Structure 1
């Protein structure tokens, strides 16, 4: 990454102010990174050069003149408080020249966080000589660490240079300050077309919904060598000592994975090594709750040890979700995507997201997150289809088909799937996916031709829906376009009813919606209970919605007004949101763990950190987006 604009330059401590020619005097120079979607902090360098360069000439070769670097703009005072509190370097405006001056620039004392740089003996064939750190205080840039335990920028080297075996071993107390807290978020999903027929080799369409999981990541001080999960929705609170985890097994050359590795099955030896650390989770809880907690812990630890290293900083991972659990809405896949994205971000292996990111680059980042989310899904489900995590990662919708259960499904993204208003109703009727699937299979064995015809009809409905939505003439704001999609949903539901997988409470929702004339309703998922989805007609009156909501509440249903076909995984870096309030003048509202945990219910979570506010998308959240056009 080339340096960004020059924020300001001042003489180093004890140096006279001079114009362009510094005459061997040191200069403090504050550099701001170029447009950075993750808002990483500026850094400060000093120049020892005969000629002070202009801001526009700052390129790679110039770095050979930089003998000291402070990254990020945070320093320490050697006053016994550095383990937990580093001081951020601010800037002030020079009343004479108007340059931004580092607040510490006039302080002559030595700072441990400042490091010397020298040209490397190695050369990059595609550019200028690289720079290596030759200080007695080797840096861990922004708290990141690579797979070999060396300090790095997402690789196994410092600034792309060679191995660090010839340098001093990292001392945690000499590492750089804590990274800012950040958040990631991923959506749930619904099956829009093709339930049950997909089990028999037919196509189905799954789409993202605006109900989401939110993961808050807090980096702990250097002295705290623990990693903690705090998932209040499943009552999971657990802490592990990083140094006690089975790194010796995961770091074996034959076992170690890279962030870009494709993992299609879990390693039995790695699974076995994790069992003592998973077995202590929820030991005193009922079996059902303990299983959910241990699955989450297993997924996290498998990713943490596969991607991380023993020098990974201590962290607290706090998760809240607005997605109903065990309702066929992809809640576990949403969590898996959040864990994958968060760890890859901490490893500095993702670029973006930002508005000008090329689509091919965005696709690459999405695929990287999705691969490791699938690994987490294998930890939770054993043999997942991969569809749920794919939708939760990329958002929008996909057409998928699985003809051979020994092979992954065929997945075709619908990148231009429109955002559609959706009413999601949880019947609160317990259901068993295995039972409903077995019911259809038995019916097919009894009436093979008839059931085969029904499944073929469902496949044609799915194909018609995909063709309709992808057509250039489709307009999600036009009633005729919505009516045609709604009719296909109604037909699909009727075919599912003929297979015997509906339920009286699902049919009651359809009756209530049809009576108010609000939209087109069908079951989603395996049926037998669970949830229904209603594609909303345009311009539905608030009075009709209020009447429907009252009836649903009176009959013990839970209603969610959501959006179909929205964004996939998103990042809030740092964890600061702007809501169009007075706080924006102060830089926005910082989301800390206490605020996050104290948010009441799904509405409280959405109000605090939701990716959409009353006026649309909230400033701060960024998404990897790809379009066909």
Structure 2
């Protein structure tokens, strides 16, 4: 039996950076996914290894389950229906298992993801032989929630073949988890995110698990149901950025200009709340859709202007903005800024020819373009014979 789970990436539609200073932000799932498959070897096989294949990077890892059982003796003995945090000692023990593989320097950032994999798998299934294969449609480290969707997809696949989740294994299509099962997937994914990021907000894994959209402010998350079918062009500038440094830069600017920056954060809060209410308002016809798209475009444009005020834009982002403006389209950065990914709203009446021309122009600048539907479904699972 094989369980295959998929989990979407995410974008921040409004409110990044300002959310750290108490403003509202809105995040949404995108229909670009990470896939994880789990297969147990048949009892007739004498395979006694846990294997992980990160297909996109052509990286393979394997550990004898006997060794895992000795090094991680305290995991796998508890109930998978009650997620627990990884202790500092266990993180060190897992890191020693990962270090054995001498990950190439170009992929060293993936080491924490491999550690999260080992923790999630052994916590849910113990030291049991299996093969896990992961592929993703999301660029890594570009602000699209790739690590969260990795953790959600793994948790989904592992729980699907555990005793604490009841699913229809005869249904060969993609199927949704029930609400209580989604809660469990989300909690385990959050534990994985903690290994990768230390202190994640929980926003990325929540969007990836439940899909659609969420509004968040001061640690409070509210799930939203969008009534507007949105489509975005996501442009990956391929410029790496230091999120911590960008967040610190906004805080320093706030310290130097508290009144001005508090006004900026207050304006962002208004934009996020207005954007959320537009997305949730019912649309009766094509005209209503177009009107709402125009309002959203204006709000995105305002939000981008305020992000420039915060000092988190970048020459690569400005290049994308100038290019899309030629086509009368609105663009804003998403996530930390300083490079990373930017969003361009694609109105529903925009012709495919114009989109193709725009993509060609952006790709000639060395950028990567992805078209994504916004606010789709969350984690899902399918079953097959291995």
Tell me, yes or no, whether TM beats 0.5: yes
Measure how far apart 1:301 and its partner are.
1.1
Superposition map of 1:413-492 within 5 A: 413-416=223-226, 418-473=228-283, 478-492=289-303
Is 2:3–2:161's contact at 8 Å kept on the other side of the alignment? no
- Taking the aligned partners of 2:225 and 2:245, their CA distance within structure 1 comes to 33
- Taking the aligned partners of 2:313 and 2:189, their CA distance within structure 1 comes to 31
Q: Give 1:273's aligned residue.
A: 93
- Taking the aligned partners of 2:52 and 2:33, their CA distance within structure 1 comes to 18
1:539 aligns with one of 342, 346, 349 = 349
Instruction: Tell me whether 1:561 sits opposite 2:371 in the alignment.
Output: yes
1:248–1:560: structure 2 CA closer, same or farther, 3 Å change rule? closer
SS across alignment from 2:178? helix
Instruction: Tell me whether 1:306 sits opposite 2:126 in the alignment.
Output: no
The alignment's C-alpha RMSD in Å is: 2.3
Structure 2 residues not aligned, in runs of 5+: none
Q: Give 1:195's aligned residue.
A: 16
Q: Give 2:79's aligned residue.
A: 258
Q: Give 1:381's aligned residue.
A: 197
CA deviations on 1:78-99 (whole Å, 9 max, x unpaired) are xxxxxxxxxxxxxxxxxxxxxx
SS across alignment from 2:206? helix
Measure how far apart 1:248 and its partner are.
7.8
1:569–1:475: structure 2 CA closer, same or farther, 3 Å change rule? farther
Is 1:366–1:394's contact at 8 Å kept on the other side of the alignment? yes
Measure how far apart 1:561 and its partner are.
0.9
- Taking the aligned partners of 2:92 and 2:309, their CA distance within structure 1 comes to 45
Is 2:214–2:224's contact at 8 Å kept on the other side of the alignment? yes
- Taking the aligned partners of 1:251 and 1:446, their CA distance within structure 2 comes to 49
- Taking the aligned partners of 1:475 and 1:466, their CA distance within structure 2 comes to 19
2:153 aligns with one of 334, 338, 363 = 338
Q: Give 2:315's aligned residue.
A: 504
Measure how far apart 1:440 and its partner are.
1.0
Which shifted more, 205-214 or 243-252?
243-252
Instruction: Tell me whether 1:224 sits opposite 2:47 in the alignment.
Output: yes
1:382–1:394: structure 2 CA closer, same or farther, 3 Å change rule? same
Higher relative helix content: 2
Measure how far apart 1:282 and its partner are.
2.2
Instruction: Tell me whether 1:290 sits opposite 2:96 in the alignment.
Output: no
Structure 1 residues not aligned, in runs of 5+: 1-178, 403-408, 576-591, 593-629
- Taking the aligned partners of 1:258 and 1:474, their CA distance within structure 2 comes to 48
Normalised TM-score (structure 2): 0.91
